[in-house]
Structure 1
């Protein structure tokens, strides 16, 4: 496994509003990193810059020694960077297997798309097994539970063979059982991938996070293990009146 994610001096302005300001941090290859912060802290903006959806005013984002700033979105994907969004995007009329196969077609040549395949591709089979959806392979995606739809989207991302996964609030709206299953899934994925999770669920973070980066007003406020972050006076002050009771609990 290779490929650190390195952010240096990253600055983003939106019509006079500074969303990110001289941001520096590093995620090591094979790490499961949680990214938290109050609304407006710059978390989604950061992910948008990494994936090429937003162009920064200055700074650098490098993955596996490739500069991402200035590259088009599809070229960043080709470098092994993938993301999910807060709202699950699956094709409800297609089966779980068909959704995964469609996502995997991103890696197939045009000629391969035109030929009728036989059997299940290895990458698709692996995604079914990893996400725990193998028994539901022939079910329409529209009948899946909320959690299962999120796992399907993660599986669709895995079929594209990314090395860096950026997941935006993957447990939002899930039941306790689904959150626990998702936490175990993220740990399993992180054995072979670098994973960055944008999250608001503090209970989920306490159970499954190892290293946490806290953003506030576009700047790095605190970084460390869960105990260090929870004990930091600056973090408690920022979250006071929002979710401070959870952070300090």
Structure 2
């Protein structure tokens, strides 16, 4: 089976600054992949290119055999790519249930969206259970905690039935308990979807990541398991800011 997402020879330039340089990146069906790197490494830029927010100078992005470069954002969403941003975007005045129902209807035509619906669809009920907000279904989204808003936004993606979820720093600003629940949620979602997570929290990475891609200055630095990435001296130097010898001295 071919890869779900293939990025080949990608170059992104902003006013002479090379944000991404000759990047090749592949994501297989059913993966839960973590994408890390220092600030300015090109992580969010890569997601912006995949989702149509940024146009590359050159290179290709293929999703399920379909070229994405040149498509408009809504076309990429309809192709099966969903994303969250670093700041959650929910409709605060609507209930948790209404947010999910609205997201689930993004493929419906306007008359169907305006028609009053009775009961809860199977997709919405399943998403509500997955994100663990069933007890808050009838509460306005505006009263949710930071972590709960992030879970709701993930649920709003899930009900759209994307093949690929792109999550930009989903645990930023969360408590320890919220990070743990988010990691469990990502593992649950990844059973039925391919998930790419941009993250800075190294403890979270060690706890929940299996495969990790490291970017540095817009280029692929390394890729592998958490153990392999942590053992790579290039990662220790440019991402952690410390060499293997320095880490060993701290542990002694």
Q: Same fold (TM over 0.5)?
A: yes
Question: What secondary structure does 1:106 align onto?
Answer: coil
1:187 is matched with: 187
Cα shift readout 1:68-98 (whole Å, capped 9, x = no counterpart): 1111100000000000000011111111011
CA shift for structure 1 position 165: 0.2
Structure 1 residues 142 and 2, CA, compared in 2 at 3 Å: closer, same or farther?
farther
Poorly superposed stretches of 4+, deviation over 3 Å = 240-246
1:218 is matched with: 218
Q: What does 1:10-89 align with in structure 2 at a 5 Å threshold?
A: 10-89=10-89
Q: In 2, Cα distance between the equivalents of 1:242 and 1:99?
A: 44
| Structure 1, unpaired ranges of 5+ | none
Structure 1 residues 152 and 2, CA, compared in 2 at 3 Å: closer, same or farther?
farther
CA shift for structure 1 position 3: 5.9
> In the comparison of the two structures, how many residue pairs are matched?
248
Q: How high is the TM-score relative to the length of structure 1?
A: 0.95
CA shift for structure 1 position 113: 1.6
CA shift for structure 1 position 239: 2.1
Q: In 1, Cα distance between the equivalents of 2:4 and 2:243?
A: 31
Q: In 1, Cα distance between the equivalents of 2:242 and 2:189?
A: 31
Q: In 2, Cα distance between the equivalents of 1:159 and 1:3?
A: 23
Structure 1 residues 208 and 125, CA, compared in 2 at 3 Å: closer, same or farther?
same
CA shift for structure 1 position 242: 8.1
Q: In 1, Cα distance between the equivalents of 2:131 and 2:190?
A: 13
Question: What secondary structure does 2:105 align onto?
Answer: helix
Q: Report the more deviating stretch, 148-157 or 2-11.
A: 2-11
Cα RMSD after superposing both structures: 1.9
Structure 1 residues 243 and 177, CA, compared in 2 at 3 Å: closer, same or farther?
farther
Question: What secondary structure does 1:24 align onto?
Answer: strand
Residues 123 and 159 of structure 2 are in contact (CA less than 8 Å); yes or no, is this contact kept in structure 1? yes
Q: What does 1:90-239 align with in structure 2 at a 5 Å threshold?
A: 90-239=90-239
Q: In 2, Cα distance between the equivalents of 1:66 and 1:240?
A: 37
CA shift for structure 1 position 34: 0.1
